[in-house]
């Protein structure tokens, strides 16, 4: 998941203040789209159909007239997008660096465990997730720490002592899901969400019944759980 940057004074800028509610929504949808697709600010006209709102000709015209969007052939372009946000090249380089650091860490951990075993050293259970300081993405450190808490503290505590032993594939997906959760929740909120999620009785949710409750499953349920916790 990538971030899109909006200046903290943008909401008080006359270009934004003059927009209709629909044009403002289209502008935000456009920012989300170009960052998700890494288009460096380009919005294909056909892509407007994928927005989470109705895009009217009046709304796009208002965005162009305000200077927030520019016309590029039959498509649109967000003005000065890469001056405020990372380009596709930068995002992909950071992601590659993050993956490499995680891979390097796991390799070191595997080597250390192997050497320890050959020397007759008994190791306590350790986390396969990278510790604080590994990775370049903003939330990788927090996500790694949450994965550790989830596996060794939260899961056994709220699942009556059961062990959480993810496969390598599940482990990788958990880390990605944890990063997405960290984009929306504080560490305290994450632990509360996980505790609530892990204590939901199987009979109350067919989706959970008989399944190991992974962090990826928690991500899919996070919004609904937040609402339930808020109304409790």
Rounded distance, CA 22 to CA 60, Å? 10
Q: What is residue 78's three-state secondary structure?
A: strand
pLDDT interval class at 103 (50, 70, 90): confident
Query: Can you tell me the mean pLDDT for 186-214?
Result: 89
Query: Can you tell me the mean pLDDT for 36-42?
Result: 93
What's residue 127's pLDDT?
A: 45
Please, which contacts does 144-148 make with residues 24 or more away whose CB atoms are closer than 8 Å? 144/175, 144/178, 145/187, 146/178, 146/181, 146/182, 146/187, 146/190, 146/191, 146/215, 147/171, 147/174, 147/175, 147/178, 147/215
What's residue 124's pLDDT?
A: 43
pLDDT interval class at 154 (50, 70, 90): very high
For residue 121 the two structure tokens come to 């050293």
Count CA atoms within 13 Å of residue 210 on its CB side.
1
| H/E element, 48 | none
Query: Can you tell me the mean pLDDT for 36-53?
Result: 94
What's residue 113's pLDDT?
A: 62
């Amino acid at each position: 998941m990538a971030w899109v940057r909006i200046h903290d004074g943008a909401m008080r800028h006359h270009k934004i203040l003059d927009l209709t509610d629909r044009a403002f929504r289209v502008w935000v949808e456009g920012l989300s789209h170009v960052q998700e697709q890494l288009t460096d600010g380009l919005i294909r006209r056909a892509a407007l159909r994928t927005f989470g709102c109705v895009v009217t000709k009046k709304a796009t015209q208002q965005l162009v007239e305000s200077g927030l969007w520019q016309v590029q052939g039959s498509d649109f372009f967000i003005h000065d997008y890469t001056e405020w946000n990372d380009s596709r090249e930068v995002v992909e380089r950071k992601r590659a660096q993050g993956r490499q650091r995680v891979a390097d860490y796991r390799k070191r951990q595997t080597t250390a465990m192997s050497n320890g075993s050959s020397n007759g050293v008994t190791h306590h259970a350790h986390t396969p997730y990278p510790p604080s300081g590994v990775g370049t993405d903003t939330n990788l450190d927090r996500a790694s720490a949450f994965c550790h808490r989830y596996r060794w503290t939260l899961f056994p505590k709220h699942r009556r002592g059961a062990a959480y032993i993810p496969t390598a594939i599940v482990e990788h997906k958990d880390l990605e899901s944890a990063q997405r959760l960290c984009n929306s929740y504080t560490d305290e909120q994450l632990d509360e969400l996980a505790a609530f999620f892990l204590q939901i009785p199987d009979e109350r949710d067919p989706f959970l019944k008989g399944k190991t409750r992974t962090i990826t499953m928690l991500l899919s349920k996070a919004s609904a759980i937040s609402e339930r916790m808020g109304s409790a």
